[in-house]
Chain A
Amino acid sequence: MSWFKRDKGDDDKLPKLTDQERRVKTEGLWQKCEGCRQIIWKKDLEANWNVCTKCGAHSRIDAFTRLKLLLDEGEFTRYDSTLRSNDPLGFVDSKPYSERLRGMQNATNLCDAMIAAEGLLAGRKVQICAMEPKFIGGSMGSVVGEMIMRAIERAIAGREPLIIVSASGGARMQEGAVSLMQMAKISAGLMRLDESRLPYISILTDPTTGGVTASYAMLGDLNIAEPGALIGFAGPRVIEQTIRQKLPEGFQRSEFLLKHGMLDEVVPRLELKQYVATALRFFVD
């Protein structure tokens, strides 16, 4: 899948169309890769878990796809899938938060920005939480906080490993300090998991920023990230505004964090399951 495998043959596969025809016919069927700017057949991209078949760039996947990728036969049992926020602040921005939630719930078929599940990973039972980046930016509020806490408690009760796949802009503004305190709540839960000597593997995907990075995403026994993911505490725009200078190339990307010692490894999506399975053998067997 490396860039150097690209050759003329790939271009020949594109149908010969005029620009206008192409615009019409390709809508929905073809997708431009953010990495190499080449047009790729969407089905090919999806069959490859949204990893570009030409350059290897990783584009985002939803929480369902994430669980299918990591769990045996793509099978899992969900927990707490009906937990809904009751809008503790009565927050209103361009529309009421309660309305925004309903819209998101309809659009994603989820009650909040996470799927908590239990399943087998290479034959081993694990508790796993996957964040949904499309649900209000994958933000963390009271529901995500509680889902993770309950997953930690299930892991401790069943003596099973915990895996959290983060994809989040951080704490959810619309739940104010309630969201903020979830960082402390979850981190306290992870202290308990740690005391129980059970492994926690944190998988950071694009994007993982703010209060999610500054709590559970950075607290794994192993912190591993997908290539090219934006990972940081402050958002790049906030930093640029504060320091009034341009940010260096690759700043806050997975490879940057690896270089600065903040990650154990950068692992391509298609190798993630094997990587985690091997690591769990170290922790558990």
Chain B
Amino acid sequence: MEGVNSPENFDGVTVPGGNAAWRRVQLARHPKRPHSLDYIGRIFQDFQEIHGDRNFGDDPAIVAGLAHFEGRPVLIVAEQKGRDTKQRFFRNFGMPKPEGYRKALRVMQMASKFGRPIITFLDTPGAYPGIDAEERGQAEAIARNLREMARLSVPVVVICIGEGGSGGALALGVGNTVLMLENAVYSVISPESCAAIIYRDSAKAEQAAAALRLTAEDLKSLGLIDGIIPEPAGGAHEDHDAAAESLRTHLSARLSELDSLSADQIVEHRYEKFRRMGNFFA
């Protein structure tokens, strides 16, 4: 039941319309919306990118790097979409392959070894659905990240900045603190794929978006995320600097909250949070 929207369906340039959830989907995919590197350049200092999974290759859909945040060393792992056509192809429309997730895990385990906090940015339509990705174990790569992120002994702060596309986003999403930008969405399936399944009509994505409860408010009220980061009026694309400043303030506060926890407590804290997630049964 996983799926991604094909980039061809994209029409985020138009003024967003429709129901509230669908407007959020349009904003989350807006071509002028800040992507990970736009935030990284504004919030962090001394960013040094590091590449490769030491096994197969380097996946440009995931950017990893060492950096300083407010004077302290941190690791950044971020899903990256391109802006112009050339970049979008280079970043594979932000759809990571197994080597991307394996690079992410490699560097997160390195950060854990050296006691450095990890900050991840989620922004993907989904993990890449392709022959090569399947051959190299897309599912295994995501699964392993989920289990191994649970084991990291350093603070992990996850921020969904745009599209939280299913397992492809969650593979970097097992954090002590998980935040969403106000107009970001996070969903088990894209509205288009959902509509194709339930209404046999991908054009009914707008209806599906509302049914899926994928907005930041929805996830907060379901107890699946820890907080919402406000965006400038009209959305983050209207003012990248203001959006970055808002993100910086919240990241700073959330990181300090975790500072008092020991390595063991950090693992326990993250575990307990996910253990309680989704208690919707009787």
A188 near B143: Cβ-Cβ < 8 Å: no
- Could you tell me which residues of chain A, from 80 to 104, have a CB within 8 Å of some CB in chain B? 83-89, 91-94
Contact with B along A69-86 (1 / 0, CB 8 A): 000000000000001111
In the complex with contacts A173-B1, A188-B150, A233-B142, A182-B278 CB distance below 8 A: yes
How many angstroms between the C-alpha atoms of A86 and B278 in the bound complex? Answer: 11
B1 near A142: Cβ-Cβ < 8 Å: no
In the complex with contacts A142-B279, A218-B144, A177-B134 CB distance below 8 A: no
- Could you tell me which residues of chain A, from 182 to 241, have a CB within 8 Å of some CB in chain B? 182-185, 187-192, 194-195, 209-211, 213-219, 231-235, 238-239, 241
B211 near A93: Cβ-Cβ < 8 Å: yes
Stretch at the interface among A5-13, A21-29, A49-57, A245-253: A245-253
A188 near B280: Cβ-Cβ < 8 Å: no
How many angstroms between the C-alpha atoms of A92 and B187 in the bound complex? Answer: 16
A171 near B134: Cβ-Cβ < 8 Å: no
Stretch at the interface among A125-133, A143-151, A276-284: A143-151
Kindly state whether residue A139 has any CB partner on chain B within 8 Å: yes
How many angstroms between the C-alpha atoms of A231 and B139 in the bound complex? Answer: 9
How many angstroms between the C-alpha atoms of A174 and B167 in the bound complex? Answer: 16
| Contact residue among B130, B148, B274 (Cβ-Cβ distance under 8 Å from A242) | B130
| Contact residue among B1, B131, B270 (Cβ-Cβ distance under 8 Å from A247) | B131
| Contact residue among A93, A149, A209, A251 (Cβ-Cβ distance under 8 Å from B275) | A149
How many angstroms between the C-alpha atoms of A146 and B278 in the bound complex? Answer: 9
Interface centre among B144, B166, B213, B280 (most CB of A within 10 A): B280
In the complex with contacts A85-B281, A146-B279, A191-B147, A180-B166 CB distance below 8 A: yes
| Contact residue among B167, B218, B279 (Cβ-Cβ distance under 8 Å from A233) | B167
In the complex with contacts A187-B150, A243-B131, A217-B170 CB distance below 8 A: no
Kindly state whether residue B17 has any CB partner on chain A within 8 Å: no
How many angstroms between the C-alpha atoms of A197 and B47 in the bound complex? Answer: 39
How many angstroms between the C-alpha atoms of A235 and B199 in the bound complex? Answer: 18
In the complex with contacts A171-B2, A176-B214, A86-B146 CB distance below 8 A: no
B134 near A184: Cβ-Cβ < 8 Å: no
Instruction: Using CB atoms, name the residue of chain B closest to A260.
Output: B135
A176 near B138: Cβ-Cβ < 8 Å: no
| Contact residue among A86, A189, A190, A192 (Cβ-Cβ distance under 8 Å from B282) | A86
In the complex with contacts A88-B222, A171-B1, A219-B143, A142-B280 CB distance below 8 A: yes
| Contact residue among B143, B167, B197, B280 (Cβ-Cβ distance under 8 Å from A217) | B143
Question: Which residues of A are found within 8 Å of B140, using beta-carbon distances?
Answer: 218, 262
- Could you tell me which residues of chain B, from 125 to 173, have a CB within 8 Å of some CB in chain A? 127, 129-131, 133-140, 142-144, 146-148, 150-151, 166-167, 170-171, 173
B143 near A260: Cβ-Cβ < 8 Å: no
Contact with A along B23-44 (1 / 0, CB 8 A): 0000000000000000000000
Question: Which residues of A are found within 8 Å of B213, using beta-carbon distances?
Answer: 89, 176-177
Question: Which residues of A are found within 8 Å of B279, using beta-carbon distances?
Answer: 142, 146
CB distance from B105 to the nearest CB of A (A): 13
Question: Which residues of A are found within 8 Å of B199, using beta-carbon distances?
Answer: 93-94
Question: Which residues of A are found within 8 Å of B131, using beta-carbon distances?
Answer: 239, 243, 247-248, 251
CB distance from B177 to the nearest CB of A (A): 14
Report the contact-size class of chain B (Cβ under 8 Å from the partner).
35 or more
A188 near B278: Cβ-Cβ < 8 Å: no
Question: Which residues of B are found within 8 Å of A238, using beta-carbon distances?
Answer: 2-4, 129, 193
| Contact residue among A83, A170, A188 (Cβ-Cβ distance under 8 Å from B174) | A188
Interface centre among B129, B139, B144, B213 (most CB of A within 10 A): B139
| Contact residue among A145, A170, A177, A218 (Cβ-Cβ distance under 8 Å from B143) | A218
Question: Which residues of B are found within 8 Å of A214, using beta-carbon distances?
Answer: 2, 127, 138-139, 142-143, 146, 167, 171
- Could you tell me which residues of chain A, from 147 to 170, have a CB within 8 Å of some CB in chain B? 149, 169-170
CB distance from A236 to the nearest CB of B (A): 9
Write the residues of chain B forming the contact surface with A, with a CB cutoff of 8 angstroms: 1-4, 6, 127, 129-131, 133-140, 142-144, 146-148, 150-151, 166-167, 170-171, 173-174, 186-189, 193-194, 197-199, 211-214, 218-219, 222, 224, 270-271, 274-275, 277-282
Q: Which 3 pairs across A and B sit closest by C-beta, in order of nearness?
A: A234-B129, A187-B146, A93-B198
Write the residues of chain A forming the contact surface with B, with a CB cutoff of 8 angstroms: 83-89, 91-94, 137, 139, 141-143, 145-146, 149, 169-173, 175-185, 187-192, 194-195, 209-211, 213-219, 231-235, 238-239, 241-243, 247-248, 251-252, 260-262
| Contact sample, A vs B, 9 pairs, CB 8 Å cutoff | A84-B282, A93-B198, A93-B211, A146-B279, A175-B188, A177-B212, A180-B167, A185-B274, A188-B274
